[in-house]
Structure 1
Amino acid sequence: MTQQNAAPFSQLDYMLERKRRRTRLVTKDGRCNIEYGNIKYSTHFAFLVDFWTTFVEIRWRFVLFIFIASFTLSWFIFGLLWYWIARSNGDLGWQEPPSDHNSCVENVVGLTTAFLYSLETQTTIGYGGRAITAECPSAVALIIIQSLLGAVINCFMCGIILSKISLPKKRAKTVTFSEMAVISPRNGSLCLSIRVANLRKTLMIGSQIYGKLLRTTTTPDGETIIMDQVNIDFLVDAGKDNLFFVTPLTLHHVIDKSSPFFDMAVDTLHDKEFELVVFLDGTAESTSSSFQVRTSFIPQEIMWGYNFLPIISRSKEGKYRVDFSNFSKVVPVATSHCAYCYHNIKGHHLHSREGHDNPGFEVIEIDNPPNVTKL
């Protein structure tokens, strides 16, 4: 009987999760869930004008196809031109040239040998079996044109591949956010907290953190605004701008009367419809390239009455240690059940409660608790 009842609930959870993914504007890994429709055909030429950005942003499979096609097609086209020059000079085997005949290109006697000579010329291989002579001025002009065009193709394709390999968004993959956000008291204020970590030891220069709350609102005139954006300010213990991002940081948004979270409570939070998008802009120290990391949180991913476990400690050798096993793990703390109560009702600052449970995370013990240092 228990197994029969478990199936519908698992199916319902699966459908709810799919609905959340469809309605989310920014996925957890930072991709934007948006599509464009009814674009005028004339605007498509804008992508061709900005061809460099178009080539850099297309997928690797298309880059490899263009790489192979550009070289192969150029070899074949110039092979046809070399075949045409040899045919015009009577160098081909089926033309039966006399023994004292002066060829434009030695040992180019057919289409296959013309293609091989084209390949050897453009790739500067030069096996020595085929070589141009001074007999035909058109052949001299053609080898100059092919050499220049081959150098252009080489530079262009190498630049595209190098640009795709060194894209700043690859650096953003090594910056991660916590899976959940928490709401709990901190330093005399009720705060919404998010944890972020730089997985590389190289620093991020000029890091800035900010957020946008996306929600659907209705104006007094009855106009519905989809994705109305509200600025969300975040603070960290180390400051707001120019962060020393050498260890994981915890971002804090103070829930005061000016905060859009002020009218929410523990029992109404998950009934709201909004999306909190968090941005982190920075510059990689090793490459000096700017990049942006994004993630988002929906109401079901915000835990009221919880706080993150500490993850920074110092070993006996004096080294600082970051335990990433506790990065997204939380522990319940005494928290008022609403922001209004926290600020206006005396005695609700430390209202004891168990918090809103999330079975996806568990609390673990930390070694040497006296040596734990919070950041």
Structure 2
Amino acid sequence: MCGSIGTRIRKYLDERRNHRTRLVTKDGRCNIEYGNIKYSKHFAFLADFWTTLVEARWRFVFFNFTATHTLTWFIFGLLWYWIVRNNGDLTWQNPSPDHTPCVWGVAGLTTAYLYSLETQTTIGYGVRALTPHCPGAVALVTIQAVLGAIINCFMCGVIMAKISLPKKRAKTISFSPMAVISPRNDYLCLSIRVANLRKSLMIGSQIYGKLLRTTTTQDGETIIMDQVNIDFMVDSGKDNLFFICPLTLHHIIDKSSPFFEVAVDTLHNQDFELVVFLDGTAESTSASCQVRTSYIPREIMWGYSFLPIISRSRDDKYRVDFSNFSKVVPVATAHCAYCFHNIKGHHHHSREGQDNPGFEVIEITESQDATKM
């Protein structure tokens, strides 16, 4: 029991340590903070207030929605109170029996606020109503109706824009939790797997990677976040992927690859982060989105290959088994890229397979038309 708790604590601390050291988390968020920004630069966020509101957290959006409407109702309520007070309509002013009010049913500040709310929301309970005897009241109800419509359109637009953000579509694109290195088609490849959980396609999908590491130049300058391009491809190429089913993407480890000097016994001692990007356009909304994830050395398995995931069913349909999405099997692989290219038969054998944590295992029957996650 104590050993199990200790293992969980160590695993939790390792996850926290890995989260802090990543530039990009597994779910695509950037782990970076900005400091020493001049105060004057903050006004740029106010100038671009639309983007600021759309990118704000939901609690701030709801607070702004509620505060904006409540404040405008109260301000116009004060203006209505001022109009009826100048006309002598209030109860404490003791209007005469033949007095014609500007607004029927408004006799105090509370009723003025209620009339302002009813006017801007077009409720109209029938108790309070405007009379045509006060030109200022007619002008004020026109202004409030127009301003209320503008506020409603703006705040509803913010909510709709926030709901339809492209990053929501990106949550239905998932990468394998681990990357693998194994031979494929006479090449030593680093492979990852990516899946689109929706049936709607990602049009014009392109995938690429950046290797982030700390390097030192010949002049002694230390570059904390040196970026090296990493090309990924499928059998048909690397551009305009036909992303209708899960794909296994490969990076060829040759002499031009930054992984050429890495070996099986030195991989986990390296200090780098492989960030993978997938850019595409959602077919249903035509919105461009980018999906990101990252792999650190301990999340790259040398000498393993992904299990097959696509097959044909008896009724001649293509079947995707997501239970194998993140499962790997050991394959004979050279100890290093140099050995693979120069020393034939020099292979490293893994003893057993390993199941990586990933998708939830599901049952897929022959009669199912869609895969439910």
Alignment TM-score, normalising by the size of structure 1: 0.92
2:205 equivalent among 204, 207, 217: 207
Alpha-carbon offset, residue 361 of structure 1: 6.0
Fraction of identical pairs, as percent: 75
Q: Tell me the distance in 2 between the aligned counterparts of 1:49 and 1:279.
A: 30
Between the aligned partners of 1:185 and 1:218, the Cα distance in structure 2 is: 31
Give the number of equivalent residue pairs.
361
Aligned to 2:368: none
Distance 1:51 1:5 in 2: 53
Partner of 2:78: 80
The 1:325–1:352 alpha-carbon spacing in structure 2 relative to 1, beyond 3 Å, is same
Q: Does 1:259 align with 2:248?
A: no
Q: How far, CA to CA, are the matches of 1:59 and 1:246 in structure 2?
A: 33
Kept after mapping to 1: 8 A contact 2:206/2:280: yes
- 1:165-220 Cα deviation digits (max 9, x unpaired): 11110000000000000000001100000000000001110000000000000111
Match for residue 64 of structure 1 among 62, 65, 70: 62
Report the alpha carbon displacement of residue 16 of structure 1 after superposing the two structures with TM. 2.8
Q: Distance in 1 between matches of 2:54 and 2:135?
A: 39
**SS at the partner of 2:17?**
helix
Match of 1:108 among 106, 109, 114: 106
* SS, match of residue 293 in structure 1: strand
Aligned to 1:291: 289
Q: Does 1:315 align with 2:313?
A: yes
Mapping of residues 212-291 of structure 1, within 5 Å = 212-291=210-289
Decide whether the 8 Å contact of 2:328 with 2:353 is kept in 1: no
Instruction: Give the corresponding residue for 2:369.
Output: none
Map of 2:164 onto structure 1: 166
Q: Within 5 A, what are the aligned runs for 1:1-375?
A: 11-348=9-346, 351-354=347-350, 360=356
The CA distance in 2 between the partners of 1:326 and 1:187, in whole Å, is 22
Cα distance in 1, alignment partners of residues 208 and 285 from structure 2:
23
- Distance (Å, rounded) in 1 between the aligned partners of 2:5 and 2:158: 50
Kindly state the Cα deviation for residue 17 of structure 1 after the two structures are TM-superposed: 2.6
Q: Deviations over 1:53-87 (max 9, x none)?
A: 00000010110111111111111110111011101
Shift of 1:142: 0.8
AA matched with 1:176: S
SS at match of 1:316: coil
1:232–1:253 Cα contact (<8 Å) kept? yes
Task: Report the Cα distance in structure 2 between the residues aligned to 1:108 and 1:5, rounded to whole angstroms.
Answer: 73
Partner secondary structure for residue 138 of structure 1: helix
**Paired amino acid for 1:354:** S
Mapped to 2, the partners of 1:243 and 1:57 lie a distance apart of 30
CA distance in 1, matches of 2:8, 2:266: 24
SS in 1 for 2:334: coil
CA contact (8 A) 1:303 1:357 kept: no
Q: Deviations over 1:240-299 (max 9, x none)?
A: 111111010001000000000000000000000000000000000000000000000000
- Aligned-partner Cα distance in 2 for 1:159–1:283: 22
State the one-letter code of the partner of 2:291: V
Over 3 Å counting, the alpha-carbon distance change for 1:10 and 1:166 in structure 2 is closer
User: What are the ranges of 5 or more consecutive residues in structure 1 without an aligned counterpart?
Assistant: 368-375
Deviation at 1:238, TM superposition (A): 3.0
User: 1:304 touches 1:355 (CA, 8 Å); kept in 2?
Assistant: no
Q: Hey, what's the Cα distance between the residues in 2 that align with 1:206 and 1:118?
A: 51
| More displaced stretch, 338-347 vs 74-83 | 338-347
Q: CA deviation at 1:336?
A: 0.3
Q: Deviations over 1:81-113 (max 9, x none)?
A: 101110111000110100111111111111111
CA apart distance, 1:359: 6.5
TM-score under structure 2 length normalisation: 0.93
Letter in 1 for 2:258: P
1:12 offset after TM fit, Å?
4.0
The answer to whether the Cα contact below 8 Å between 1:304 and 1:356 also exists between their aligned partners in 2 is no
Q: Does the C-alpha gap of structure 1 residues 45 and 356 become closer, same or farther in structure 2, counting only changes over 3 Å? A: farther
Please give the secondary structure, in 2, of the residue aligned with 1:246: coil
Match in the other structure for 1:370: none
Note if contact 1:336-1:342 (Cα within 8 Å) is conserved in structure 2: yes
Q: CA deviation at 1:239?
A: 2.0
Paired AA for residue 134 in structure 2: C
For structure 2, which runs of at least 5 residues remain unmatched after alignment? 365-373
